[in-house]
Structure 1
Amino acid sequence: MSGTTAESNPDRKTRVTVLVALTANLVIAVAKAVGGLFAGSPALLSEAAHSVADSLNEVFLLAALRRSRRPADRRHPFGYGKERYFWSLLAAVGIFVMGGCFSFFQGFEALRNGTEEKLSGYVAGLIVLGVAFVAEGVSLLRALHQVRAQGGASGLRDPALRTVVAEDGTAVLGVTLAMVGMALHMVTGQVVWEAAASIAIGALLVFVAYVLGREARDQLIGEAADPELRGRIRALLEAQPEIDSVEALFTMMTGLESTLVAARIDLVPGLDSEEVEEVAVRIKRSVARMFPQAREIFLDVTDRRAQEAGQSPAATGERGGA
């Protein structure tokens, strides 16, 4: 199948992982918000903002999974694969604005105005955080299991899965910070501990947002394929008997499973124009067969004899699946 109905098995698993994270975050956000208002806890309210941000980000990631699968059309001849990176960038912005900034605000407000909590408030807050820790941990384990199933570090190439892992890992650490801050506030009576926990959560979210945003930016502006893949493509080209030298090789990821390949090659002397065309077609098909992710392949072919005779070099391009 093709078009919007075509979906790979890893995408189906990623969708389930995102839905698990979304369900957990929605339930936890409500519990944290109610518990934070009841307890008057800045750390717990910061964690509620964190969960709301994560929930919105999961919606962005679901949109990314759906929209990035649309087939190429006249306006977007290289397809919609980069939609994945765009929505991941929005998720990073959401973490920064809704999670990080609100956590900083809660922390500084607690330091400025102080807050009073009753024992029942502490108990309610710690119970909510304990439930949140378990739920976030389950979601994180689900995401990590999928990462391992998809080849470990290579599974994190998917920005949707990478974002879920980062969010869940940050959530587990954030809940831990909030619990420590609330416990120290209860023991010492000093709100500075909860305020510090809230500010620390904010700093953690800003850092994660920066890392995720930087990776999405690199992929949006045209990141090259990994060096190992580039090396293998170059080796295949150099092994062709008709190629005298590979002058330049350019690659760009146009989606999670698609890469554009463009090479400038010099052919051995003595090939006529018809042979040059046949060689170019054969080489491009060899690259497409060996590297299925090379969806678009373009060769800038130069015949030295034609060049010496003052003729222009032939530039050829072909879709990788042809």
Structure 2
Amino acid sequence: MPQGSAKSGGGESTLTVLLALAVNLAIAIMKAIAGVITGSAAMMSEAAHSVADTFTEALLLTALRRSERPADRRHPFGYGKERYFWSLLAAVSIFVSGAVFAFYEGFRTVLGEPEEQASPVVGYVVLAIAFALESVSWTQAVRQVRRGAREEDRSVPEFLRVSDDPTVKTVFMEDSAALVGLLLAFGGLGLHHLTGSSVWDGVASILIGALLAVAAYTLASTNRGLLIGRQADPQLVRAVWAELRDVPEVEQVVDLLTMAVGTDRVLLCARLDFDDSLGAAELERACVRIDAALREAHPELDEVFLEPVPRTDPELRARVLARYGDLRL
């Protein structure tokens, strides 16, 4: 991604999160009031859902702010992975604050004494307003996702799968889950109103809990992989491999290691078999030139390490084969 795009993308991520925070806070208050008035378990579950989303946005803002700090002596590769840590906590927040409460309300309603419904019209009005407000936040998240996918020439599902920016994915998924949750709450409230049975309200609450649990697990899995140390975008890896292979002084690319160390920040280690006729000074100049060329072509490369190695080293080849299989390196 070009440098300007990366900077503008960071600003857009902040805008997306701030908009979602404001929307979810307003919706949470409305749902909680409506839940108390109507006595609806599904409405109370949706209130908990919005509270969880509000906490999530606050954690994502923390992630955006702390991950932008520059590298220092204690963290020579920077603080980019803080974004993944705080985003992982956001996923935990969705499960603990949203899913667990929704399951509790749902099973309490289904298994407990039948409950009378009061003022269902209030619930319908609040759900309609919440759907309209949530759509605003969701539209901004979709706009950012589509722009990112278009810039990288990917489909939206592929972009969401490989993106190393968890903030926009988190907002997109939680807003999508919120819209589905509102429809479930509306269905539970409506069926309770029509049949007089609070079981439908409880079932809707349980379904909302399941929805939140799936969303939380998906987001947690993404951030777990990034925290452990996920390989960079395969498109970037293939491009760097091809460029190194075409360098005149390089006879063979023996190994290529990459790791995402933050959003649009990649650590690269290339093990190269250089022409044996090169002198020490020529090898040094070649490494400097290769480093500069790679950084110019790929601004997301944060650190580049070039290691001269013989391609015939059996121990090194065994490690490469164990990692990637026989790629005919």
Greater relative contact order structure (CA < 8 Å, 6+ sep): 2
Deviation at 1:148, TM superposition (A): 2.1
Q: Secondary structure at the match of 1:95?
A: helix
CA–CA separation in structure 2 for the residues paired with 1:102 and 1:65: 28
Partner of 1:3: none
- Give the counterpart letter for 1:258 in structure 2: R
Once the two structures are superposed, the pairs formed by residues 225-244 of structure 1 within 5 Å of their partners are: 225-244=232-251
User: Aligned-pair distance for 1:149?
Assistant: 2.6
Q: In the alignment, is the contact (CA less than 8 A) between 1:268 and 1:303 conserved in 2?
A: no
Q: Which SS does the other structure have where 1:50 is aligned?
A: helix
Residue 150, structure 1, aligned to residue 157, structure 2: no
* Root-mean-square deviation over aligned CA pairs: 1.6
Q: Is the 8 A contact 1:14 1:160 kept in 2?
A: yes
Alignment match, 1:129? 127
Q: Do residues 21 (structure 1) and 17 (structure 2) align? A: no
Give 1:208-219 correspondences, 5 Å limit: 208-219=215-226
> Is 1:251 paired with 2:255?
no
Q: Which residue of 1 aligns with 2:139?
A: 141
Aligned length: 298
- The answer to whether the 8 A contact 2:28-2:47 is kept is yes
Tell me whether 1:59 sits opposite 2:66 in the alignment: no
- Do the aligned residues in 2 keep the contact of 1:64 with 1:84 (CA within 8 Å)? yes
**Contact 1:269–1:303, Cα closer than 8 Å, also in 2:** no
Q: Which secondary structure state, in structure 1, belongs to the residue aligned with residue 206 of structure 2? A: helix
Q: Which runs of 5+ in 2 are unaligned?
A: 1-5, 151-155, 314-329
- Other structure's SS at 1:299 match: strand
Helix, strand or coil for the counterpart of 2:119? helix
TM-score by length of 1: 0.89
| Pairing 1:1-322 to 2, within 5 Å after superposition | 8-118=7-117, 120-152=118-150, 153=156, 154=159, 157-302=164-309
What SS class does the counterpart of residue 296 from structure 1 fall into? strand
The SS at the match of 2:309 is strand
Residue deviations 1:186-229 (CA, integer Å, cap 9, x gap): 11111111111000000000000000000001001110012111
Contact 1:222 1:252 in 2 (8 A): yes
Deviations 1:21-54 (A, max 9, x none): 1111111111111111111110000000000000
Q: Which amino acid aligns with 1:53?
A: A
Identical columns (%) = 47
Mapped partners of 1:248, 1:38: distance in 2: 64
Deviation at 1:302, TM superposition (A): 3.3
| C-alpha distance in 1 between matches for 2:167 and 2:215 | 14
Query: Aligned residue for 1:317?
Result: none
2-structure distance, mates of 1:269, 1:32: 71
Distance 1:64 1:293 in 2: 19
Q: Summarize deviations over 1:221-263 as a string: whole Å, max 9, x none.
A: 1100121110110101010111111110000011111100101
Does the 8 Å contact 2:164/2:226 carry over to 1? no
Deviates more, 1:24-33 or 1:10-19: 10-19
SS in 2 for 1:8: helix
> For structure 1, which runs of at least 5 residues remain unmatched after alignment?
1-6, 308-322
